[in-house]
Structure 1
């Protein structure tokens, strides 16, 4: 009876709730908005690899050919990408969120949000009296602030549009001009409100809007999300949601990405400044070490099925899932084996990534393995290579190999159970078909 109640709670309460979260317009906007940032991060990471490639002979050769300041010159490209991700995220999140509402020009909403975001940033004055926006505040340092502005300012803008607080132009006016005039009233209201808010906060001990966000929101969330406990909780929900066919990495990533990408940016800044890398948990920690081979580290299971399965069914799935798994794509195995709604496979699917989080965290925290450098290795990069690139050290590749072996050891007994069950079913089907053929003859 209790088991039925528990299953009813999962099916009737947890799964619908998770489904609603996955389809929430705000989570979707976060996910799709951050997707706009990823090309910049990957491009900037390529230039960072060029300037920080972990081979002394290469560094010496580059210095001899291009001069001792060659790394600084290469860093210009990194600055042009990494240091605007907050601004781009604000535009992307606002655009995606506004697009989900009817009767709202998404481009106008995103431009107003960008203006509000820039208005929150305190200006810096140099010795010559020149005033400018600090570039770092447009990057990872301002990422959490960009997230909040992109969501809340856009919702406020949409509310005013739906309240018809706008100028209406004749139908003969080109749409671009009409949209610009429609944005005047809500845009002015938003900019004026943020301006007054900035002036008012200047009289408090916070002094600036970013200080409020850092003290009240960003620091506590980062303190949780940037720890091993935050990583464990996040990874549990990634696996749990996947077991019911919901893309757990997308749901959880929409919540944790601002924290993990911020940690990544801090690591990249430290590497560039030749300072110790501050953070263990970051986006690369999750992507390249916990999700190597896909959520649940199913790469070892896919290769087992490919090379060691005795049943024709599992061997066929292994042939289908093996190559994608090498490039961290595991949908074929998730729905082909399946792991989704499979109570037997649910155990290792949850346990393996949790064990991997612990091994990876302890290895990097103690210094046995180099920490991630803030380089966004493309998520389809095969394991071993991605570990080396993410850490700039061979220890990263070795750690991925250790995780693969440990994960494989956990997966193995469950793989054997599935293989025996499939083999038994195939034998039963073959015997039945043989008996039917014999009866016909």
Structure 2
């Protein structure tokens, strides 16, 4: 067993280091964080406009008027419909900072590059008409989820070109005494021109094809297949097996696997959110909300179930005190005290339920939604610290809350025999420590005057 664990550590640790330190994956991860606060705020307004309670619409209409839901959805649209713009700027800014160049200039160039490759037309059909008109506009279709993958690619490529040209020294040098802002502007002039010119050539070449623009090419040949692959039970299970193996060796598996898998989940979530906002049928089972709200409770390994078993059934002082300290953080999705304090890291006994419970949660949740027993997640962006039951209710109605409760209890049953083995072991160690302490001779208790 020790040889096997050593081999896994030698294989997985370098892999995790490579992924975790990759500038481009880090840029994508950090770039999305730029839009996350706005998406959460927009989700709050969208949730209020579509709160899952009977007669909610009637009650709010009596208070705020008949158009209250439309007005409440405006902040949501203002954030969701331009999320690709925010992602482009954020990813380019993050990558520019890592290469130690003017990050703001990198973000601006990436945004302009994205607009160059985006068609400035929208198809419009007037009311009570069958005629379709092509209207010059900035199409929100490509500013939202549909343009996300091209946005990520353009942000990375344009910034890397910008960095390459700067490093070559192909810049305009200003004399000393010129204000730094002016120096930076002229320094970025030639690199900006080269990047824009390259994007112009790419757009012109694609316009000569039957597709007409690069947005349609990426959406059809890259984004759609990737989302189809990511929206499968097998992909989710494989991702989570790797995620928990990394955690087993003390490596943050959520960051390593998430760097690759989370962009796909985020795009799927946005598709659900758009459908929910428009009142259409929600398309995807596997999403970011599916992962956060139904695969794990209390962090990786769904350790909130483990913590409650520890609180209720374990008797050793070591486990009881650890569980009491870990309960409140675990409710809000923070489980490092359990990961490193129990420990789960390099503990083969707990590895089995640690990987098994989330896998079972994924399988049960997937089929519960596939069979129509539980509504698909609506794409509402909730903070990852939202406690279970509440989060299930907000993203999938009361059925989602019930499913979370059932999975939580099932996780307790799975964890119970494994943690009891550890608890019995710790109890024996504590008893042996007490016995050894009582057998020690304390010379302070002797009265040498009686000898």
TM over 0.5: yes
Q: Could you tell me whether the CA contact under 8 Å between 1:144 and 1:259 is conserved in 2?
A: no
Which residue of 27, 30, 34 corresponds with 2:28? 30
| Aligned-partner Cα distance in 1 for 2:202–2:22 | 29
Matched, 1:105 2:109: no
Which residue of 315, 325, 340 corresponds with 2:345? 340
| Aligned-partner Cα distance in 2 for 1:334–1:189 | 49
| Aligned-partner Cα distance in 2 for 1:367–1:416 | 37
Higher Rg: 2
For 1:202-217, what aligned pairs fall within 5 Å after superposition? 202-217=207-222
Q: Could you tell me whether the CA contact under 8 Å between 2:142 and 2:215 is conserved in 1?
A: no
Deviations 1:265-293 (A, max 9, x none): 11111112221111111110011111221
Matched, 1:419 2:433: no
Shift of 1:427: 1.6
| Aligned-partner Cα distance in 1 for 2:144–2:123 | 20
Q: Could you tell me whether the CA contact under 8 Å between 2:9 and 2:249 is conserved in 1?
A: no
Matched, 1:83 2:87: no
Against the structure 1 CA distance between its residues 423 and 171, is the aligned structure 2 distance closer, same or farther, given a 3 Å change threshold?
A: farther
Normalized against structure 2, the TM-score is what? 0.93
| Aligned-partner Cα distance in 2 for 1:87–1:315 | 49
> 2:333 — aligned with what?
328
For 1:28-107, what aligned pairs fall within 5 Å after superposition? 28-102=26-100, 104-107=101-104
Against the structure 1 CA distance between its residues 129 and 358, is the aligned structure 2 distance closer, same or farther, given a 3 Å change threshold?
A: closer
Shift of 1:169: 2.0
| Aligned-partner Cα distance in 1 for 2:245–2:364 | 20
| Aligned-partner Cα distance in 1 for 2:120–2:226 | 26
Normalized against structure 1, the TM-score is what? 0.95
| Aligned-partner Cα distance in 1 for 2:167–2:443 | 73
> 2:136 — aligned with what?
131
Shift of 1:243: 1.1
Question: What count of residue pairs does the alignment treat as equivalent?
Answer: 437
> 1:18 — aligned with what?
16
Against the structure 1 CA distance between its residues 199 and 298, is the aligned structure 2 distance closer, same or farther, given a 3 Å change threshold?
A: same
Which residue of 234, 239, 246 corresponds with 1:234? 239
| Aligned-partner Cα distance in 1 for 2:432–2:157 | 60
Which residue of 116, 119, 127 corresponds with 1:119? 116
The 10-residue stretch of structure 1 (145-154 or 319-328) with the greater mean CA deviation from structure 2: 145-154
Matched, 1:428 2:427: no
Q: Could you tell me whether the CA contact under 8 Å between 1:109 and 1:183 is conserved in 2?
A: no
Q: Could you tell me whether the CA contact under 8 Å between 1:120 and 1:194 is conserved in 2?
A: yes
Shift of 1:161: 1.1
Structure 1 runs not aligned, ≥5 long: none
Classify the secondary structure of the residue corresponding to 2:344. coil
Which residue of 264, 273, 276 corresponds with 1:271? 276
Pairwise CA RMSD: 1.8
| Aligned-partner Cα distance in 2 for 1:341–1:439 | 42
Q: Could you tell me whether the CA contact under 8 Å between 2:146 and 2:219 is conserved in 1?
A: no
Shift of 1:343: 1.2
Shift of 1:402: 1.1
Which residue of 374, 379, 389 corresponds with 1:374? 379
Deviations 1:377-418 (A, max 9, x none): 111111000000012x10010010011011111111111011
| Aligned-partner Cα distance in 2 for 1:437–1:124 | 90
The 10-residue stretch of structure 1 (142-151 or 356-365) with the greater mean CA deviation from structure 2: 142-151
Against the structure 1 CA distance between its residues 437 and 360, is the aligned structure 2 distance closer, same or farther, given a 3 Å change threshold?
A: farther
For 1:134-173, what aligned pairs fall within 5 Å after superposition? 134-173=139-178
